Amino acid sequence: MLTRRKALISGAAALAGSAALLRHGEAQAARPGRVAGGNHAFTPVTMPNGATLPWTMVDGAKEFHLVAEPVKREFAPGMIVNCWGYNGMTPGPTIEAVEGDRVRLIVTNRLPERTSVHWHGMLLPNGMDGVSGLTQPHMEPGETYVYEFTLRQHGTLMYHPHSDEMTQMAMGMMGFFIIHPKEGENPRIDRDFAIMLHEWFVPPGAFTPNPNVMLDFNLFTFNSRVWPGTAPLVAKTGDRVRVRLGNLSMDNHPIHLHGYRFEMTGTDGGKIPAAARWPATTVDVPPGTTRDVELVADAPGDWIFHCHKSHHTMNAMSHDVPNMIGVKQAGVESKVRAVLPGYMAMGENGMGNMMNMGQPKNTLPMMSGQGPFGPIEMGGMFTMLKVRDGLASYDDPGWYKHPDGTQARKIPTPPLPKP
């Protein structure tokens, strides 16, 4: 029999398990295509490497179940991290509803410490705000609390604990709460993605993040995955694409897309009026906010989408390495090896070829990922928008085939002045 937790893990599993989990009414789960939310059509949100939370209609409210608990998360093949999250995952499953809906959120605490859930950005009765000690008692291990309110807004909102926040958020406890506008979308959205940005310090060789770190993080994630473990965002040529970005980490993340201009169309406060938008290629997402950007996918290709802080596209980053760029190290290696067997002189010509050095167990290379033309030399907050003509499905279409005459090519080096 499916356990309840497994039933909540993925869209497919949720559908299969919903009969066991749900007692009354209809089940709603993430699936491709257009679905009805109340009387209003909307395109369901796609959580790359994540899932959407199913609900049942009970006594006039959409009822959602969240379980706060320790979870194991694979950041990329080769690295498993001991995190905390909801329903077996970090970020927790996306809650999706429509403006005007009544929602009931039933939360059980299976953590080793007390918690609460705060509904970030929500217009709600003060007693539903989830601030432990102020608006409710702490939710002790084993206890269940229910939150219930009517959605009076739309936009990209979030949920996270308001109880030992420093530990619980550093361990991965956060999720999206997405509210679609009741009047629908105009223009309509064809692909609607949600990506939670986060940062972690997992000492090399360790399995558990250290929540005491304030600035010097070494892993930077999209939906708690790092490149090359991040799923691509796939769209058909002509699709209108929205990407919703949420940030509950300690830093801002300037997220940049290649090959396109986009507009920021919403925040955790809702839609931005059309007259207030401007074109850009990078959107900065400060801590404690969400940003929605939209574009029309009119340029086929594999376009990278990444944080523009270059240390945030590295894995297992260590910041106390001496800078050896331009330092002549000829002869150094053999001399040092006499006293330190196995010493490698490195970094003289940059660090791009250092991706395959040996590392401690459960530690990813700093940069990795193989592309069609060689190593991509990235990590962390990095994925791709893959746009193709006439796609039959939104599965990963593989690498882009560049039409003749549209790709950089090698030519003989022309004579240059002497350096």
Q: How far is the CB of 315 from Cu ion (least distance, A)?
A: 13
Beta carbon nearer to Cu ion, 119 or 222: 222
Pick between residue 8 and residue 307 the one whose CB is nearest to Cu ion: 307
Min. distance of Cβ 196 from Cu ion in angstroms?
A: 12
Does 307 sit near Cu ion (CB under 5 A)? Answer: yes
Q: Count the helices and strands in the chain (H runs, E runs).
A: 4, 26
Convert residues 57-96 into a mask of x (bound to Cu ion by CB under 5 A) and - (unbound): ----------------------------------------
Q: Which is nearer to Cu ion, 27 or 250 (CB)?
A: 250
CB of 381 to Cu ion, least distance (A): 5
Lookup result for tokens 């009765």: 125
Q: Is 253 in the site for Cu ion (CB under 5 A)?
A: yes
Interaction residues for Cu ion, span 309-338 (CB under 5 A): 309, 312
Residues in region 220-249 near Cu ion by CB under 5 A: none
What part of residues 182-211 is at the interface with Cu ion (CB under 5 A)?
Answer: none
Min dist CB 252 to Cu ion, Å, is 7
Instruction: Based on the shown chain and the rule CB under 5 A, indicate whether residue 151 belongs to the binding site for Cu ion.
Output: no
Give CA–CA dist 198/264, Å, rounded: 20
Q: Is the Cβ of residue 87 or residue 90 nearer to Cu ion in the bound state?
A: 90
Nearer to Cu ion, 104 or 253 (CB): 253
Of 114 and 253, CB closest to Cu ion: 253
Q: How many CA within 13 A on the CB side of residue 67?
A: 15
b (16+ CB within 10 A) / e for 392-412: eebeebeebeeeeeeeeeeee
SS (H, E, C) 193-208: EEEEEEEECCCCCCCC
- Residue 264 CA to residue 244 CA, distance in Å, equals 10
DSSP codes, 1-56: ---HHHHHHSHHHHHHHHHHH--SS-EE---SS-EEETTEEEPPPB-TT--B--EE
Least distance (Å) between residue 286 CB and Cu ion: 11
Q: Token pair 């809650």 is at which residue?
A: 95
306 binds Cu ion (CB under 5 A): no
The binding track of 262-301 with respect to Cu ion, each residue x by CB under 5 A or -, is: ----------------------------------------
245 versus 307: smaller Cβ distance to Cu ion: 307
User: Nearest distance from residue 307's CB to Cu ion, in Å?
Assistant: 3
How big is the site for Cu ion, counted in residues (CB under 5 A)? Answer: 4
| Contact status: 4 vs Cu ion (CB under 5 A) | no
3-state helix, strand, coil in the chain (%, to 5): 10, 40, 50
Question: Which region among 56-64, 209-217, 251-259, 324-332 touches Cu ion (by CB under 5 A)?
Answer: 251-259
Nearer to Cu ion, 69 or 292 (CB): 292
CB 132 within 8 A of CB 116: yes
Q: Of 202, 200, 240, 241, whose CA–CA distance to 224 is shortest? A: 200
CB 404 within 8 A of CB 247: no
CA distance 215 to 250: 7
**What count of residues does the chain have?**
419
Instruction: List interacting residues with Cu ion (CB under 5 A).
Output: 253, 307, 309, 312
